[in-house]
Structure 1
Amino acid sequence: MTKPIALKPLHALLLDGQGGARDMDAAEINAWRPDQGLAWLHLDYTEPEQSEWLRNQSGLSELVCEALLTENTRPRATLTGDGLLIALRGVNLNPGADPEDMVSVRLYVTPDRIISTRKRRLLSVTSLAEDCRKGEGPANVADFLVQLSGNLVERMGEVVEEIEEELSSLELQLLDEGHSAAIRQALSNLRRQTITLRRYFGPQRDAFSQLQNDRASWLSNDHRLELREISDRLLRHIEDLDMIRERAAMAQDELVSQQSDQLNQRMYLLSLIAAVFLPLGFLTGLLGINVGGIPGSDNPYAFGVFMLILTLLVALQVWYFRRQRWF
């Protein structure tokens, strides 16, 4: 007989059905029975001990184990018997991380047991575990799904709001300061971030739709309505991301327009200067050739007269340019 593994999961909670829960030790985990209440085990699948327990002592099928241990996953919800195999993603709010670097959580949910796995810490799961310990958690497995989904979408909304505020700040800087390399780089990063989030939010909504449609016996109509509301909130976040992306594109277009206007103004100024000095250069070059017969070569007042002629010529050009409204 295989010796039971002294499992040390990230969270091992026995829910009391009233919103509270208590932590279970390794012996209680291995001795747990469905009649004791709803058990929630949250594992780090990169830990060899925890993955071994999942494969050999959890009692789950090989297919479910592989789904809980897979490295790459896409948001989904699949009904297997009376259990649900679910993969969801949450924004990465860990210190020093990029929010668009989404964190995956995999769950296998039955009426009497929840097993979830992750690689990186997900604040939505951590806060749910703390709510359970404080007596403010879910009463049953359906409540658990609704509360976890709500936590994930709520934090997604917070990230979307932060991105929108950042974009508004960049738009004000663009109006006040005009074109700058820093604003251009910030807009590019913001567009990349929204594109990445939009890419992940869409499949997440599809997973919530699957949850609503799957006919799990323990998922009531009220819970389906709550999941639909969560899905609608996620849809609004997706629409906000689309709007942010379009606003960022318009801001980038404005940057390009400002840069083009600045370049055109400078080229226009240089063209005016060249137009003023072109006849002056022609006259000075013509009188500067080293051949006989140059007018005024023997006259001591010739240089002053020539400078006066050049000054009058410049004044005539400026008058003409202003009359034509070239500047």
Structure 2
Amino acid sequence: MTEKVGLSPGTAIYTGDVEIKKPEITIIKYDLNEVLTQECDSLECIETLLKRSEKSMPTWVHIEPISDQESIAKLCGSFNIHSLVAEDILSVAHRPKIEEFENYIFVILKYIEYVGEELKFSQISFVLKEDFLITFADDSPQRFEIIKKRIAKKDSRMRREGNEYLFFALIDYLVDQYFIVLEKIGEKIEDIEDEILNNPTRQSIQNVHDLKRTLVELKKSVWPLRELLNALLISDGVKQQYHIYFKDTYDHVINIIDIIEGYRDSVSSFLDIYLSTLSNRMNEIMKTLSIIATIFIPLSFLTGYFGMNFKYETIFESQDAYYFSNILMIIIPVFLLIYFKFRKWF
């Protein structure tokens, strides 16, 4: 981000960490009768494909990766996309947002997934025009192969609807990824809870802090989706018939936020559980040591008492004194253990 300091607004600077390479462009035109898919590597190729069919067909242009900032800037120019939008497309640390222009809608979303034990965010940008939908992906989920399969399926709803439905399907797919991530986070929470209750360590606390940080990042990427979907529900750029679909996705987002808040409350309580568990373990240890010390107090007294030399004490002149003292030192701890058990001290 420091590379953009001092530059004029609209300067196209890529801020991600994907290897710089020429973007691969996939164009999919479809209707009930056919699906036309073509890979492109130049502006001329794109223009040719977009004009190939005489009849109007829903068209999806997917561009990935976006690491070559010069190529992306040229592509945005060829589609008459504002320079400020091109800047936002290349700034991959953007929060989710929506902007409406005269002839298109611009949306930024985040795709999330677990890579190893790390939560990874990648940016997906949408430009919805009347004639086609353009997506710019820094690192998309298998290049939306699931959505492409739905388009390829004959008689599917995707084939019967327009660009707005494709736009909804992509957003809904990205939102559903949050449920997959939340399911994994829920499993981690259960594992950490069992660990804290049964065998708490310093690593347990570190795991709790890492999980809290993950939930904060997750909330930051989900919270703006409410505003974004609300804007789509009242937008004139989306036909009224598709509002019900975006309303359903909005309900999913609210559900995700509720789950995240519940997880945050659970994780926040783990520190109290950790301290309570350590305190209980310490109490158990101290109780055990106290019982041992209490048992040995009378034994120490007896050994100390009988260890003294009494000139006139007749019991020490008896041949049974040794056996008597051993029996007494056995009876006392047994009696104390029975008494402690009766009082439920252990």
Normalising to structure 1: TM-score of the pair?
A: 0.76
Partner of 2:46: 29
Partner of 1:275: 294
Q: Aligned residues, how many?
A: 313
**Structure 1 residue 108 corresponds to structure 2 residue 127:** yes
Displacement of 1:148 in angstroms is 0.7
Decide which of 167, 172, 177 is 1:150's aligned counterpart. Answer: 172
Partner of 2:88: 67
Q: Give SS of 1:101's match.
A: strand
For structure 2, the 5+ residue unaligned runs are: 1-20
The 5-angstrom pairing of residues 93-132 of structure 1 reads 96=116, 98=118, 100-123=119-142, 125-132=144-151
Displacement of 1:296 in angstroms is 8.1
Displacement of 1:41 in angstroms is 3.5
Q: State the distance in 2 between where 1:318 and 1:131 align.
A: 73
Q: State the distance in 1 between where 2:60 and 2:331 align.
A: 97
Residues 294, 260 of structure 1: alpha-carbon distance in 2 compared, 3 angstrom cutoff: farther
Q: State the distance in 1 between where 2:218 and 2:95 align.
A: 14
Identical columns (%):
18
Q: State the distance in 2 between where 1:112 and 1:181 align.
A: 59
Partner of 2:64: 43
Decide which of 98, 103, 110 is 1:82's aligned counterpart. Answer: 103
Q: Given residue 225 of structure 2, which amino acid in structure 1 is its aligned partner?
A: Q
Q: Give SS of 2:134's match.
A: strand
Q: Deviations over 1:22-79 (max 9, x none)?
A: 2153332144667955351423221255335336544432212112111310101110
**Structure 1 residue 209 corresponds to structure 2 residue 230:** yes
Does the 8 Å contact 2:92/2:123 carry over to 1?
no
Q: Deviations over 1:84-143 (max 9, x none)?
A: 1110012225x6474x32221112222124332222233473433444455654643211
**Structure 1 residue 13 corresponds to structure 2 residue 34:** no
Higher relative contact order (CA 8 A, sep 6+): 1
Q: Give SS of 2:222's match.
A: helix
Residues 43, 313 of structure 1: alpha-carbon distance in 2 compared, 3 angstrom cutoff: closer
Q: State the distance in 1 between where 2:146 and 2:344 align.
A: 68
Q: Given residue 223 of structure 1, which amino acid in structure 2 is its aligned partner?
A: Y
Partner of 2:249: 230
Q: State the distance in 1 between where 2:301 and 2:220 align.
A: 63
Decide which of 196, 200, 210 is 2:221's aligned counterpart. Answer: 200
Displacement of 1:295 in angstroms is 6.2
Displacement of 1:281 in angstroms is 2.3
Partner of 2:259: 240
Q: Give SS of 1:121's match.
A: coil
Q: Deviations over 1:131-183 (max 9, x none)?
A: 44556546432112111111112222233334445656777x67xx9502489
Q: State the distance in 2 between where 1:310 and 1:39 align.
A: 90
Does the 8 Å contact 1:194/1:245 carry over to 2?
yes
Structure 1 range deviating more: 293-302 or 31-40: 293-302
Residues 63, 198 of structure 1: alpha-carbon distance in 2 compared, 3 angstrom cutoff: closer
Q: Give SS of 1:78's match.
A: strand
> Could you say what the CA RMSD is over the residues aligned between the two structures, in angstroms?
3.9
Normalising to structure 2: TM-score of the pair?
A: 0.72
Residues 303, 67 of structure 1: alpha-carbon distance in 2 compared, 3 angstrom cutoff: same
Residues 55, 108 of structure 1: alpha-carbon distance in 2 compared, 3 angstrom cutoff: closer
Structure 1 range deviating more: 238-247 or 198-207: 238-247
For structure 1, the 5+ residue unaligned runs are: 1-6
Q: Give SS of 1:280's match.
A: helix
Q: Given residue 273 of structure 1, which amino acid in structure 2 is its aligned partner?
A: I
Q: Deviations over 1:274-318 (max 9, x none)?
A: 1111232244346657x9969689848454444344344445544
Residues 319, 65 of structure 1: alpha-carbon distance in 2 compared, 3 angstrom cutoff: closer
The 5-angstrom pairing of residues 139-178 of structure 1 reads 139-164=161-186, 167=189
Does the 8 Å contact 2:60/2:133 carry over to 1?
yes
Q: State the distance in 2 between where 1:101 and 1:255 align.
A: 28
